[in-house]
Amino acid sequence: MDDAQTRAFRSEVALWMDRHLAGRFESLRHRGGPGDEDACVELRKEWERELAASGWTCLGWPREHGGRALSIDEQVVFHEEYARAGGPGRMGHIGEGLIGPTLIAFGSGEQKRRFLPAIVAGTEFWAQGYSEPDAGSDLANVQTRCRRDTASGDWIVHGQKVWTSLAHESDWIFVLARSQAGSQGHHGLSFLLLPLRQPGVEIRPIRQITGTCEFNEVFFDGARAAADHIVGAPGEGWKIAMALLGFERGVSTLGQQMRFRHELDTIIAVARANGAARDASIRARIAQAWAGLRAMRCNSLRMLAGDADTDARRAALVYKYYWSNWHRDLGKLAADVLGTDADRMREDDAGRRLQQLFYFSRADTIYAGSNEIQLNIIAERALGMPREAAPQESIQPTEASA
């Protein structure tokens, strides 16, 4: 788009948000983000349908699958204006941003017809069944298993997933499970689509230090996925799972950064109000946070504009490590700006948000790949360094020590 078209589209999005994020939806402004995801769930589901009715879901999807086929520039504008207006955390994010694109790329025709329209319409919601108690950053260690029912062809699933965002509010879950007995690592895995409301599924919410419980443990004890609800062939689960993760760091990163900017603005407002801004070290940390956020934006634009070239791949590989450490430090800054008031439960909106920011951001450098895992990825995939020795390799005695 040229500058005039970009301004016109930005105005269109901003005007729609102003008109629709009002009335009963007004209370959703700046709600439902990380650390606040269990807020106003039913109203946020209504909001998904409000977005869908005006064509504001699945913007980058091809038209034949219900999307609008908008350009990267247009999608960036939408996410920026959505966040600028205080648009709530999306209940449909996992469906729209993760499983939907995966089904478009790898799903059967029947799977696309069954699942994509409901994601576009905001009528079905998805959870992600990857992490397990012994398979977090080491995802290839998943132990959840599945087998074919010889009578029906259905997949019977046993095992456990954990840290499953909003599973208790979701309709479906995609599950990475071991379908080949005795297999190890990324071999012998399958990628299943499984309804959550059925016998054999138990969901237990996990209450966190923030007081919220958007995460869950999900137990499978004979739960069923239909015979044709496997994506790809049996044993191709790792390929599908990795492709799905590749969709995770797209244009929504710019919306994420707009939310970060709102958090920083809240910190600045509180620092001015309570006098913390008079502290030179606080002012310096605020300036560093602002500069870091600008650097993050530049990296994201390079990542989105570079398609599949080497610089773009490297930009994508460093993104999670960079933003999670930046955001964790922002949480520390929020607590220091509150001072001793951070030690008591806050009733005011700004104080409550900064407390949530501090508590929840402690997890940023752990989930979705810990710092240690991210640094290994950067070293090996971006810099071409040798793979880190596995633990069993690193403890073998040498000739000198034997």
**Above 60 in pLDDT, residue 107?**
yes
**Above 50 in pLDDT, residue 38?**
yes
**Which of 103-117, 137-151, 355-369 is the most confident on average?**
103-117
Output 352 or 248, whichever has higher pLDDT.
352
Structure confidence by residue, pLDDT tens digits, 116-156: 999 999 999 999 999 999 887 778 899 999 999 999 999 99
**Above 70 in pLDDT, residue 327?**
yes
pLDDT for the residue numbered 402 = 31
Residue owning tokens 């999306």: 90
pLDDT for the residue numbered 308 = 56
Confidence of residue 397 (pLDDT cuts 50, 70, 90): very low
Q: Which residues of 124-159 are buried (b: 16+ CB within 10 A; e: fewer)?
A: bbbbbbbbbeebbbebeebebbbeeeeeeebbbbbb
pLDDT for the residue numbered 290 = 97
> Which residues touch 114 (CB under 8 Å, ≥6 apart)?
none
Q: What is the average pLDDT value for the chain, to the nearest integer?
A: 89
Provide mean pLDDT across the span 29-43. Answer: 88
Return the closest-CA partner of residue 375 out of 335, 337, 320. Answer: 320
Do strands 126-129 and 172-178 pair parallel, antiparallel, or not at all (unpaired)?
parallel
* Residue 221, helix vs strand vs coil: strand
**Above 70 in pLDDT, residue 401?**
no
Q: What does the alpha-carbon distance between residue 347 and residue 338 come to, in Å, rounded to a whole number?
A: 13
pLDDT for the residue numbered 135 = 84
Least confident of 82-91, 127-136, 295-304: 295-304
Helix 252-274 to helix 72-84 angle, to the nearest 10 degrees?
Answer: 30
* Residue 7, helix vs strand vs coil: helix
Provide mean pLDDT across the span 384-397. Answer: 64
pLDDT for the residue numbered 65 = 97
Confidence of residue 1 (pLDDT cuts 50, 70, 90): low
**Above 90 in pLDDT, residue 390?**
no
Return the closest-CA partner of residue 35 out of 214, 205, 225, 190. Answer: 214
Q: Which domains does the chain have, with CATH numbers?
A: 7-91 (no CATH), 126-235 (2.40.110.10), 252-382 (1.20.140.10)
Among 248, 347, 380, 399, the active-site one is 248
**Above 90 in pLDDT, residue 235?**
yes
pLDDT for the residue numbered 213 = 84
Per the structure block, which two tokens stand in for 184?
């190890």
Provide mean pLDDT across the span 332-354. Answer: 87
Per the structure block, which two tokens stand in for 399?
């000739």
- Is 248 marked active-site? yes
**Above 90 in pLDDT, residue 264?**
yes
Confidence of residue 400 (pLDDT cuts 50, 70, 90): very low
- Secondary structure, 3-state, 125-193: CEEEECCECCECCCHHHCCCEEEECCCCCCEEEEEEECCCCCHHHCCEEEEEEECCCCCCCCCCEEEEE
Provide mean pLDDT across the span 391-395. Answer: 49
Structure confidence by residue, pLDDT tens digits, 166-208: 999 999 999 999 999 889 999 999 999 999 999 999 999 998 8
Structure confidence by residue, pLDDT tens digits, 373-388: 888 888 888 888 998 7
